[in-house]
Amino acid sequence: MHLRWTIGLKQGRLAAVPWTARLVVLIAVLWTMPASAQQNVRVPVEQDGRTVQLAAQLFRPPNATAPVPAVALFHGCGGPGQNTARMAGLLTSWGYAALVVDSFSARGLKDVCGRNWPTQAAAEARAADIDATLAWLEKQAGIDSRRLAYMGYSYGGGVAMLRAFSGKPEDPARPSVRAVVLLYPDCALADALGSRLAVRQPTLLAMGALDDWTPISQCRAVLDRVVSGRDLVETKIYEGAHHSFDALGLPVRYLSAVGNRSKPGGCCGAHYGAHEPAWKQFVIDVKAFLDKALKP
């Protein structure tokens, strides 16, 4: 769920994009990103009695003179990629700091999109990355700790949903958050939260109408269980769009061997690829949502 563009399509996996095409895409991404301060950082996360140092990149808006709101980005099953880099560039151009978190490399992972699908336990363990990241952001100079948000993609969106939606009383020890964006999230992960859910912060749920990897039906089933804060959830469904509609330049294709939690036994197959009109509308929608939630 949101594969890297450079993963090979062998036995149904994504074919390697020619290096010339990758170079063109990379140049285009860098060209369109605003000039912003970028810093490689580490976010400590406690896991199984040890500290895991997550690699991350912190982008700050240019010429900021006062503390700014910040958005943490959590990638899908293929790890950070062009989509998170592109979004970080957009966020800084809108006046936000952006922290792109790599949950995989410190754990020896590269891609978990294949037949060996991430377990519920693995997703719940990764949810601790969100708490640790927000706690880290709260302490950074130039970041307004009262205006924090996070955004999850696909598998990372399902993990983010484990924090955005809750079946338990609010934990006062967790960092506060002003907004959450869930982009084509793996809503099946929320099944473990129970039958009565609460939402405590504005949440944007953005999905492709043709998504057969993380289908709308699963997310609707989650929303049907929300008994508190349903009015805080804003839903956007983009017609004609499949999973990863923001993978600009990548034609829609069918991946026959990827795990799919929406199918019996969790396997296999799903469509994946770009839909530029959906991406453009999502950019408009997410900017309006974040401005309303985070701007003074």
248 part of a folded domain: yes
Domain presence at residue 134: yes
Q: Which range (45-49, 156-160, 245-249) has the least confidence?
A: 45-49
The whole-model pTM stands at 0.87
- With helix as H, strand as E and coil as C, how does 50-99 read? EEEEEEEEEEECCCCCCCEEEEEEECCCCCCCHHHHHHHHHHHHCCCEEE
Whether residue 60 lies inside any domain: the answer is: yes
pLDDT at 27 over 50: no
Q: Note the pLDDT tens digit of each residue in 243-260.
A: 999 999 999 999 999 989
Contact 174, 166 (CB under 8 A): no
Local structure of residue 267 (DSSP, 8 states): B
Residue 81: its pLDDT value, please?
Answer: 93
C-alpha to C-alpha distance for 146 and 126, rounded to whole angstroms: 24
* 13 within a domain of the structure (yes/no): no
Domain CATH number, residue 113? 3.40.50.1820
Provide the token pair at 270: 């799903």
Q: Nearest CA to 255 among 246, 265, 267, 241?
A: 267
Three-state DSSP at 190 gives: helix
pLDDT of residue 265: 86
Q: What stretches of 103-159 adopt beta strand conformation (E)? A: 143-153
pLDDT, mean of residues 211-217: 97
> Is residue 2 very low, low, confident or very high in pLDDT (cuts 50, 70, 90)?
low
Cis preceding linkage at 268, omega within 30: yes
Q: What is the tally of structural domains in the chain?
A: 1
Q: Is 135 among the domain residues?
A: yes
Statement: residue 216 has pLDDT above 70: yes
User: pLDDT (tens digit, 9 = 90+) per residue, 116-147?
Assistant: 778 899 999 999 999 999 999 999 999 999 99
The distance of Cα 145 from the centroid of its chain, to the nearest Å, equals: 20
Q: What is the overall mean pLDDT for the chain?
A: 88
Q: What does the radius of gyration of the chain's CA atoms come to, in whole angstroms?
A: 18
Distance of CA 71 to the CA centre of its chain: 11
Q: Greatest CA separation found in the chain?
A: 53
List phi, psi (to 5°) of 80: -60, 150
pLDDT at 4 over 50: no
Identify the burial level of 169 via C-beta atoms within 10 angstroms of its C-beta, where 0-12 means exposed, 13-18 middle and 19 or more buried.
exposed
Query: Domain span at residue 225?
Result: 19-294
Start-to-end C-alpha separation, the chain: 34
pLDDT tens sequence across 64-119: 889 999 999 999 999 999 999 999 999 999 999 999 999 999 999 988 888 777 88
- Asked if the structure places residue 5 within a domain, the reply is no
Classify residue 14: in a domain, yes or no: no
Tokens representing 125 are 């363990």
Whole-Å CA distances, 234 to 68, 78, 124, 258, 288:
24, 27, 24, 29, 12
Contact criterion met (CB below 8 Å) for 206 and 234: no
Does residue 128 lie in a domain region?
Answer: yes
